[in-house]
């Protein structure tokens, strides 16, 4: 391996670019099982991963519209929308907990099945409040852990 390849491999591990992690979700009903498929595309250097995991969260957002923000130093107050977000649920599940060596320039697939509890709040979008569900996959490896984007899904 040339010195440039070694430097590039090290840089990829530090920046989380040693692999591309993509997530696909099938199904999204609160009463039914849903399947998560994770694809890991390894870059130009082999990597060793400690696990493949999935994060799940629900987030509530509330907007108070046209709030009067009174400032005693000014004779008139400013009005604006105020937004508050809170994570109501979060969990993490492993799809693979064994150490694996992944070859360069190869794709690997992992799959997991999930069922939300009966108490899980459904997705909703109102005028002043929303409740959304998200899922994200990542691999645990040396350096920065590559992860997928957060994928929004609907719970009914």
Alpha helices in 41-89 (DSSP H): none
Of all residues in the chain, the percent with pLDDT exceeding 90 is 49
Residue 1 confidence class, pLDDT cut points 50, 70, 90: low
The pLDDT score that the predictor gives to residue 15 is 47
Residue 55 confidence (pLDDT): 94
pLDDT band at 16 (very low <50, low <70, confident <90, very high): very low
153 against 4, higher pLDDT: 153
- 30 Cβ contact partners less than 8 Å away, ≥ 6 residues apart: 116, 118, 120, 122, 155, 156
Burial annotation 71-105 (CB, 10 A radius, 16+ → b, else e) = eeeeeeeeeeeeeeeeeebeeeeebbeeebebeee
**Domain extents in the chain:** 3-153
> Mean of the per-residue pLDDT values for the chain?
83
Out of 88-97, 112-121, 129-138, the most confident range is 129-138
* Domain 3-153 falls under CATH 2.60.40.640: yes
Question: For residue 71, what pLDDT is reported?
Answer: 64
């Amino acid at each position: 391996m040339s010195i440039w390849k070694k430097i590039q491999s090290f840089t990829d591990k530090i920046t989380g670019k040693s692999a591309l992690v993509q997530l696909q979700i099938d199904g999204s009903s609160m009463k039914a099982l849903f399947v998560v498929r994770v694809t890991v595309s390894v870059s130009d250097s082999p990597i060793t991963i400690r696990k493949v995991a999935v994060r799940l969260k629900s987030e509530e957002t509330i907007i108070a519209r046209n709030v009067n923000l009174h400032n005693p130093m000014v004779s008139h107050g400013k009005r604006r929308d105020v937004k508050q977000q809170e994570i109501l649920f979060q969990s993490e599940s492993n799809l693979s907990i064994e150490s694996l060596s992944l070859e360069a320039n190869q794709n690997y697939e992992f799959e997991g099945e999930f069922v939300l509890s009966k108490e899980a709040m459904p997705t909703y979008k109102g005028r002043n409040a929303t409740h959304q569900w998200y899922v994200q996959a990542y691999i645990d490896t040396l350096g920065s852990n590559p992860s997928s984007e957060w994928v929004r899904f609907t719970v009914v």
